[in-house]
Structure formats: structure tokens, C-alpha cells
Amino acid sequence: MALNNQRRSFANPAINRVNSFDDAFFAEETASYRGVFAKIAYFLALILLGVGAFFYMHNYFGTHGYSVATVLADGYVIYANEMTIMTGAWIVTLIAGLVAAFAIKTIPVTGSIYCAGMGYAITMTSYLYASQYRGIIVEALVLTVLIIAVMAFLYYTGIVHVGERFRTVVLTALIASALGSLIFMVLYKLAPNSGLVTSILKIQNGPLGILFAVLGVILGACLLLVDFEVISQAVENGVNKKYEWYCGYSLMLSVIYLYLRVLELLARIQNNRR
């Protein structure tokens, strides 16, 4: 009875998902900040491994005489094989991410695949941005780190509190944003020259597009706050140590999302100046 009351006491839906683990509450080994940080470092290392894989493969294709598929600005080139690998990386990460979302016990494996694949995919994406916008990658990385630091300060000093309503609004906005992006992607693939797609692209490259990009960055920052709350509740309420995998993986998802939104914002700002 006490165990059931303890489980109902968690207001955070993400924490409630810990019931998917066996003997989640009052385990002999409970989650700790050190353990969560270790999982975060592990997933970050896999992302960096994916980053290194991109540069290794790009250099390999360049030094072994592979044909150039696309010549970009300022000496940037894309080899035909790279586009195939990038497509494969996106597909693998999508599948791994979906499995991790619905079967959180698999996160040690599926989360590892996702982070390694995303490391390659976001590096390729960053490379494409860098070919068009000088200095954008450094700016995006610095701004992302600063936002993470500010959000951590606001949360852990108690300036910002994460309640149920806040989480609901943030997750609803995330779902709406994901659905909107998916619909646009489908429209772009099916009818790239349609009036609707053309209008959306014009909006994206104008002041209104910058506003939407800013909202995307704000959403990414809010996701960090939700993750900080999940981590704090997991540690303070002594949930099973296995839950550290979920906490670390969830935070890395938010960091990746934030970086991509920052990258998009900086690109739109530079586009608007041209």
C-alpha cells in the first residue's frame, strides 16, 4: 500500500514511467547525480564518436579519389557516398529513437545507437550550414552551451520552478512543432514547387521566420528545465539506478534539439541580412 502511494505521489509523467522497470522504487541501488552525469558523459562520447566518423569518412572519400557529388561554397564539397550514409544515419536514428521512446528499458542500446547516429547526422548538417554561413558552427556551439548554463543556473538556484502545467505546455508545444515539421517535410517532398511550400519558405527566410526560430530555441531551453526536474526527482526520490539511463538520454535529446534550433535561428538571421 505504501509503495502504491509513493508511486502516485510523483506528479511528473516521465518519473511515473519508471514503473516500466522492475522493482523501480526502493531499490538497493538508487539513482545518483554522479550516475546520471556518467550516463550523460557516455552518450556525449558516442555523439563525439559520430562526429569523428563524419570527418574520417569525409577525409577518406577525399583522399581516395571518390567523385564529388556537390561543390559547395568556399571549398566545401559533398561526396555521393556521404549523402547515402547521412540518409542511413537519419533512418537508423529514427528507428532507434522510436524504440527508445516506447521501450525505455532498451535505452542503453537504442540510446547508444541514436546518439552515435545523430553525431554523424548533425555533423553533416552542420557542415552544410557552414558552407553557406561563415562562423555559424562556432556561434551555435557557444550559444548552445551558454543557454544550457543559464537554464541550469535558473533551475538549480530555484529561480525557475517546473510544475505540471509548465511540463504540459512544453511537451504539447514540442509535439505540435514536430508534427508541423513532419507535414512540411512531406509537402516539400511531394510538391516542392507548390504555392504553399513556396509561401512557407518565404516566411521562413523573413522576420516571421526568425520569430518562429526564436520560439524553437525557447522551446529547447524549456525542455532542458523539464529534464533537470526529471533528474532531480529521480535522485531525490531514490528511484532505481537503471533510471539514470533514461535521465541521461533524455537530456542529450534536448541538447541536440536545442543545438539544431540555434543553428536554424542563426542561419535565418544571416539570411535576413543578405
| Residue 10: per-residue pLDDT | 38
| Residue 85: per-residue pLDDT | 85
- CA torsion angle 240 253 144 71 (round to 10): 150
Task: State pTM to two decimals.
Answer: 0.85
E strand or H helix at 144:
helix 136-156
Annotate 64-78 with b (16+ C-beta within 10 A) or e (fewer). Answer: eeeeeeeeeeeeeeb
Establish how many alpha carbons lie within 13 A of residue 177's alpha carbon, considering only the half-sphere containing its beta carbon: 18
- Domain assignment of residue 104, given as a range: 32-132
Whether residue 105 sits in one domain with residue 144? no
Question: With contact defined as beta carbons under 8 Å apart, do 77 and 71 qualify?
Answer: yes
Whether residue 172 sits in one domain with residue 272? yes
d(CA 107, CA 31) in angstroms, rounded, equals 16
Burial of 57 by CB count in 10 Å (0-12 exposed, 13-18 middle, 19+ buried)?
Answer: middle
Expressed in angstroms, the distance from the first to the final Cα of the chain is 65
With respect to residue 145, please indicate whether it lies within any of the assigned structural domains: yes
Per-residue pLDDT of the chain (274 residues; tens, 9 = 90+): 333 333 333 334 444 444 444 444 445 688 999 999 999 999 999 999 999 999 999 888 888 777 777 777 777 888 878 888 888 888 999 899 999 989 989 999 999 999 999 999 999 999 999 988 888 999 999 999 999 999 999 999 999 989 888 888 998 888 888 888 778 778 777 777 777 777 777 777 778 888 989 999 999 999 999 999 999 999 998 889 999 999 999 999 999 999 999 999 999 898 877 6
Q: Where is the domain boundary, 132, 159, 187?
A: 132
Whether residue 268 sits in one domain with residue 151? yes
Task: Please name the residues in contact with 226: beta carbons below 8 A apart, sequence gap of 6 or more.
Answer: 14, 162, 166, 167, 170, 171, 254
With respect to residue 4, please indicate whether it lies within any of the assigned structural domains: no
Q: Where is the domain boundary, 92, 109, 132?
A: 132
